[in-house]
Structure 1
Amino acid sequence: MHPTEFLNVRLLKEIAEFINEETEIETMLSGALRKFLQGTNFETGWIFFISDKGKQELIVSGNLPEALAQNGCSQLKNGGCWCVSKYREGKLEKASNIIECQRIENVLAAKIGDNGGITHHATVPLQSGQERFGLVNVASPNTVIYSKGELELLESLAFQLGSAIKRILLTKQEQEIALLQERNRLAKDLHDSVNQLLFSVTLTARGGAEMTAQAEIKETFKEIQNLSQQALNEMRALIWQLRPSGLESGLLEAIKGYGEMLGLSVHSNVSGVINVPSRVEEALFRISQEALNNIRKHAGVTVAEIYLNVTQSDVLLVIKDDGHGFLINHEIRLSSMGLQSMKDRAKNAGGSIDWDSEIGRGTEILVRIPY
């Protein structure tokens, strides 16, 4: 075996051992790219994820020269390139030399910093079987054409990364399924045990109040009945949060059903076709649950309005009420009314959330999640 081939095999083995231990995609890609750049003649690299709709996202990069790294890698994130165009057209099947890169040409023309001698790059599609994820781009200073051996090594890296991405995605999917099954089990246990016990206490207290003529004892039974009914309502809401019955019939139906369970009338207005990934749908539903809980507990009204606008790239959810409203200040933490929970859910789904509220003028929550 030629010494170079031996070194390449050892490098790929080292990368394989590394990515096999990783469970997060970005960490895995970043570490693997770093090892690849350290063990080859390539000095810089970056990886794009490209959605089925053609939307590109810079996931990780390594050893970028000043000109490409400026302003949060804005020069790489904006503009087009032959590699991305061919990828979108399904015409990029193997590692290739990129003769013209619009991004790098724009950097050179703008003279915004040291480009480190980077004028051209090589690219390879990132995929596992027929499932495609994006592109791996690498480059070396003052290099226009990369050798056949370098391109083959790049293809080997992409094969490893594609397989690792697929493994991590499948693992997360299995974890989500297991979590859903555990939620369903817990919801069933709560319904069959605690929920039934609280219902029995409510009926017993009602019967006790009707059986006694003593006002003081009657009042005690009524108080027990009220408390147990409140606990029963809270339990039903908790079961809904664990297992949202109705979500299989659509997001809006689930939101309306949850609102009705809380005693709220939910009016809805929809524009666009509701056809979003399940992770986005669940995030929107969980945020809506928290918002409706707040309306029931704090707003002092029984009507809520839901606006849902779905575009080709994102979904906007607006939840409004004309209730008491509130002020956000140092004395009222976000978490005190579940706002921090909603913010975290939106962030975890890759989106954002904002709210507008004033005392006596109600509250409006705006959630935007790309997909």
Structure 2
Amino acid sequence: MPSHPSKYQKALHIQREISETLNKNTDLQKMLQLSLERLLDLMELETGWIFLTEDETSYELVSSHQLPPALENNREQLMHCYEGYTDCACLQLYWEGYMNQAVNHVKCARLEEAIDNDMGETRGLTHHASIPLTIRGKKIGLLNLASPGRRRFHEDELVLLETLAYQIGAAVERTRLHLQQTEEEVHAIARYLVDAYANAEKINRQIGNILNRSELFHRFMQELHDHLPSWTNAAIIMMERGRLTVQSCSDHHGPREVFDAEQEINLDQPDIVRQAYVHQHMIQGNEQPLHFSSLKDHEPLYSIAFPLFMPERSEETFGVLLLSRSTSLCDHLEMGMLEVLANHLSMGIERLRLHEEWEALLVYKERNRLARDLHDSVNQKLFALSLTSRGLQELIDEKENTTMEVVLELQQLSREALTDLRSLIWQLRPDHLEQGLMTSLAEYAQKIGVELSIEAPDDLGVNQSCQETLWRIGQEALNNIQKHAGTSKAAIIMQSEPHDFTMRVMDQGNGGAVETRQSLGIRSMKERTEELQGSFQMTSENGKGTTITVRVPVHKKGR
């Protein structure tokens, strides 16, 4: 070992480099290669190689430096394992327990075979030093070092080599354990993801045929609770009346139905639920404040929010799926699985919407069929009855007062029935809505003899389905005015606000509708309003007319 002060400093420097390399590296091959090269530099040797072994049936060359050409050019034949350790004298000594410390020089069977078979230049090498890599009695491998003309090492050099060999062996064992642990973690994650994807598919199958929103949300949350228990808390938040509203929650007790509207709409500092809804992409965070009283249990946890929407209808977001748990680790593979789960829920909600549209289409077709049948049969018969009664009037002697009164009453009844039928046919066929809600109501009022004034914004800001419902409510209100109010004048005022649309139908007639009538028409208007998650109010004092107020959340495309 070097004794000159400058050489001694160099030796310390190299030893420190070797130690740092062994401590910092987790790439086994790179770590051993760098350590071997620095060790050869420290010992002023020419060549070396390291074998690693896990049992006596095999070994592996993991690093080498400046092998003589005979070994370098015949690696496959001379440096690889074929019959356990029996083809190598140093490994044989090692595994049979005769090499527990550094050995000064061992005759190399590989070099001997290369010389005997004239396999190339050996640079005069015939022997090498062997240092065992053994940790707490466990055989890790062998470190072999050689240099032409170098047969023996000083005692302190062997001690140094044994010390460095112990460090190398410890680093190899630590790296193997790290790789094993990493592999186990990867396998555990893989198993979790495989199970999670399978469970996501189970959830999709369970909710695939549900056509009721409450049942859909309850079943989804129950399946989530049963199959993905690591996500201890979950919530489905939907947009209702301009506010995000929690409609279903799940914790360790299981799912429950709630109706918890957003406490505040803070656009400057939105929580992750509103961020996911507005920006239409996944948002995650740890210990995030949430603007919902029913989600307080989520706040101390790691949470991830997925927007619920269909890519082909990205202009409309249904709501948000919120998942929370105590651990924050969530890699891209798990996020992908959770996104698939959110997509399944979005498809379930979209399926409900399409089913509702399909039912509405069936109703539309049935209305058209009924209107057509009424027009072709009953309408013609009433018209014929009206003509017949008029003919009878001309045939009857004016002196027959009683008979004449009956015929005149028959004429009046047939005309009224014909008017009512035509009005009903007109109501049943909603094609006229294409010209707009206000125009349709004005035409209908004129048709039934009501003088109507309308105040409304140019853009109502509600979708076609909502306009259809408002049209039916307006029709019924105008019918009630024409039949019961004792006035032929009415007014409709419409107001559009950011989150609500209001329609008021007013008259200055008899009033008293609340006290005297709870008709089918009034119940129908109220039920239609509630179908849109709106509110229905009627004020009707005797002698002061009637006002019907319908307020519904804005249902339009976009957010």
Stretches of structure 2 lacking an aligned partner (at least 5 in a row): 1-186, 555-559
Q: Does 1:325 align with 2:511?
A: yes
Structure 1 pair 279–10 and aligned structure 2 pair: CA distance change class (3 A): same
What is aligned with 2:340? 156
Q: Is the 8 A contact 2:233 2:323 kept in 1?
A: yes
The offset of 1:57, in angstroms, is 3.3
Question: Which residue in 2 is equivalent to 1:300?
Answer: 486
Q: Deviations over 1:185-233 (max 9, x none)?
A: 1111101110111111112111211221133222221111111112112
Partner of 2:476: 290
Match of 1:229 in 2: 415
Q: Is the 8 A contact 1:209 1:217 kept in 2?
A: no
The 3-state SS of whatever aligns with 1:115 is: helix
**Distance in 1 separating the partners of 2:477 and 2:435:** 21
Residue 129 (structure 1) shift: 2.4
Q: 1:205 aligns with which of 366, 370, 389?
A: 389
| Deviation of 1:74 (Å) | 5.3
CA drift of 1:148 comes to 4.4
Report the TM-score, using the length of structure 1 for normalisation. Answer: 0.85
d(CA) in 1 for partners of 2:432 and 2:500? 23
Kindly report which structure 2 residues correspond to 1:76-91, keeping only aligned pairs within 5 A, or say none.
Answer: 80-90=270-280
Aligned-partner Cα distance in 2 for 1:339–1:239? 20
The partner residue of 2:532 within 326, 334, 349 is: 349
CA distance in 2 between partners of 1:157 and 1:234 (Å): 53
CA contact (8 A) 2:288 2:300 kept: no
Give the match for residue 324 of structure 2: 139
Q: Secondary structure at the match of 1:366?
A: strand
2: distance between equivalents of 1:149 and 1:286? 50
Task: Give the letter aligned to residue 156 of structure 1.
Answer: V
- 1:258 deviation in Å? 1.5
User: Which residue number in structure 2 is paired with residue 19 of structure 1?
Assistant: 207
Query: In 2, Cα distance between the equivalents of 1:349 and 1:166?
Result: 17
Distance 2:365 2:422 in 1: 18
Structure 1 residue 314: deviation in Å?
2.0
Change (3 A) 1:301 1:87: closer
> What is the TM-score with the length of structure 2 in the denominator?
0.58
Conserved in 2, the CA contact under 8 Å of 1:245 and 1:254?
Answer: no
The residue number in structure 1 matching 2:370 is 186
Cα contact 2:456–2:495 (8 A) shared by 1: yes
Instruction: Report the equivalent of 1:128.
Output: 310
Task: Look up the match of 1:168.
Answer: 352
Moved more, 309-318 or 165-174: 165-174
Question: Post-superposition shift, 1:75?
Answer: 6.4
Distance 1:113 1:59 in 2: 11
Which residue pairs with 1:98 in the alignment?
Answer: 285
SS at match of 1:60: strand
- Deviates further, 117-126 or 182-191: 117-126
Distance 2:513 2:427 in 1: 27
Which residue of 226, 233, 246 corresponds with 1:58?
Answer: 246
Cα pair distance change 1:73/1:265, threshold 3 Å: closer
Decide which moves more: 270-279 or 186-195.
270-279
Task: Go from structure 1 to structure 2 and tell me whether the alpha carbon gap of 1:119 and 1:261 turns closer, same or farther (over 3 Å shift).
Answer: same
The alignment status of 1:274 with 2:456, answered yes or no, reads no
* Paired amino acid for 1:146: C
What is residue 523 of structure 2 aligned with on the other side?
Answer: 340
Deviations 1:38-82 (A, max 9, x none): 21101111122359x9853333222389xxx9x954567765313
Q: What CA distance in whole angstroms lies between the structure 2 residues aligned with 1:342 and 1:116?
A: 40
Q: Deviations over 1:151-174 (max 9, x none)?
A: 233112112112222223223222
Say if 1:44 and 1:139, in contact at 8 Å, map to a contact too.
Answer: yes
Q: Using CA pairs below 8 Å that are at least 6 residues apart, which structure has the higher relative contact order? A: 1
Amino acid at match of 2:549: L
Looking at structure 2, the residues matched to 273 and 114 of structure 1 have their Cα atoms a distance apart, in angstroms, of 40
Compare CA radii of gyration and give the structure with the larger one. 2
Any stretches of 5+ residues in structure 1 without a counterpart?
none
| C-alpha distance in structure 2 between counterparts of 1:333 and 1:323, whole Å | 15
8 Å contact 1:82–1:100 — kept in the other structure?
A: no
Q: Secondary structure at the match of 1:160?
A: helix
CA drift of 1:279 comes to 1.4
Identity %: 29
Q: Which structure 1 residue ranges, 4+ long, deviate > 6 Å from structure 2?
A: none
Contact 2:502–2:550 (8 Å) recurs in 1: yes
